[in-house]
Amino acid sequence: MAGNRLMKTYNWQQSDWPLFRYDLNSLHGTLQLIAEKVGLISGKLSHLDESQETEALIDLIVEEAVKTSEIEGEYISRPDIRSSIENKLGLFGENPVRDKRANGIIEMIFNARTSFRQPLCDTTLFEWHLSLLSMSLDPNLRIGAWRIDEDPMQIISVQHGKTIVHFEAPPSKAVPHKMQQFVKWFNDTAPGKPQAIIFAPVRAAIAHLYFESIHPFEDGNGRIGRVIAEKALYQGFGYPVMLSLSQAIESDKKAYYESLHKASRSHEITAWLSYFLNVILKAQADVEIQINFILKKSSCFDKFKDTLNKRQLKVVQRMMKSGPKGFEDGMSAKKYITITGTSKATATRDLQHMVHVNALNQTGGGRSVRYTLAL
């Protein structure tokens, strides 16, 4: 029975909460790789001109906003997210944003990036929560304040008709005190403070787990918890680093939830730190791919602007908009006709010319022939 009780004990219920333990020696290799990537990405960013750097920032924030929402099963259109970012940056006039949730999540992300040096406080967390959920359709949702419901705050799933409780957060009455402890810990462990955690990725990982273990809001905890982790990284590196934790996490949500679930059961969190540090590495790799793509894209356009006709350049630009992963299913003659409004014969001739001058790569044959950018 004692073993069963221990298995069901959550971290916040244990007597030494919140004294997290971990083996830093086992993490040094990953921390070194992260530090090297920070320098490498900074070097690549220095090769971007102002417009390219703005493009990279917009692409990054689009991914962060879309993916942090998708992790929670919420879907906001990319065009609305992009328009909201462009409005925030004052680009291209005022763009229409149909889904107002886009404005809220962009407001939160920008606030975290621009005010990262400021200490964390309840007011900031409440403002983020208001931004994030002000357009919620739930009239009973408590927004901009800690949860107060007496019912247990549980993370559950239904498997084969049976409800599985993965985690139960502290009761609502305990939230104000535990959040006071968390905010104090976050500020006391910041760079330059007596209790500073030297390695920013380690502090970011602990901050995310610590916050999620309290789950202080009725909704939005995951999204705010990931922003808190990024704020910790920004403070540690001294500037808003170019990465999207949510994009890396969303690529394997199952691993994310399994790691959180295991970490919520014990104060020994070496495995959690190892998982989260590898998420940061994945996020850095994604950003590196994006920057490389922007540089190659610019070089490609300069190379072919005098070789391709207006139709061909229009198609190249359309394909480039799809990002490093490429145009969905590749370009085809049918898609070329749709984009340019030309005839099938002209489309085929244009595409073959683009292959001939090495602007496109061709794969397949017959009706299944596809074309991709030769970057």
Mean pLDDT over 357-369 rounds to 87
Residue 326's pLDDT band (cuts 50, 70, 90) = low
Residue 327's pLDDT band (cuts 50, 70, 90) = low
Could you confirm whether domain 2-292 is CATH 1.10.3290.10?
Answer: yes
Distance in Å from the first CA to the final CA of the chain: 62
Residue 202's pLDDT band (cuts 50, 70, 90) = very high
- pLDDT of 67-105, one tens digit each? 999 999 899 999 999 999 999 999 877 788 999 999 999
Q: Is the pLDDT of residue 291 over 60?
A: yes
Sort 233 into a burial class: Cβ within 10 Å, 0-12 / 13-18 / 19+. buried
Question: CB under 8 Å to 288, separation ≥6 — which residues?
Answer: 37, 40, 41, 44
- pLDDT of 3-55, one tens digit each? 334 445 899 999 889 999 999 999 999 999 999 999 999 998 988 889 889 98
- pLDDT at residue 3, rounded to an integer: 37
DSSP 166: E
What is the H or E stretch that residue 66 is in? helix 50-71
- pLDDT of 292-324, one tens digit each? 888 887 787 778 888 999 999 999 888 887 777
How many other C-beta atoms can be found within 10 angstroms of the C-beta atom of residue 31?
Answer: 18
- Mean confidence (pLDDT) of the chain: 91
DSSP 24: G
- pLDDT of 122-171, one tens digit each? 999 999 999 999 888 788 899 999 999 988 888 877 777 787 888 889 99
- pLDDT at residue 35, rounded to an integer: 95
Sort 314 into a burial class: Cβ within 10 Å, 0-12 / 13-18 / 19+. middle
d(CA 224, CA 105): 10
Domain residue ranges in the chain? 2-292, 306-373
Fold for the domain defined by 306-373 = Arc Repressor Mutant, subunit A (1.10.10)
d(CA 120, CA 195): 16
- pLDDT at residue 5, rounded to an integer: 40
Residue 366's pLDDT band (cuts 50, 70, 90) = confident
Percent of the chain at pLDDT > 70 equals 97
Mean pLDDT over 229-233 rounds to 98
Strand bridging mode 154-159 / 360-363 = unpaired
- pLDDT at residue 325, rounded to an integer: 67
CB 111 within 8 A of CB 131: yes
d(CA 289, CA 37): 12
Residue 18 preceded by cis peptide, ω within 30: yes
- pLDDT at residue 375, rounded to an integer: 72
- pLDDT at residue 4, rounded to an integer: 39
Residue labelled with tokens 């994009």: 247
- Distance, CA of 213 to chain centre: 20
Percent of the chain at pLDDT > 90 equals 69
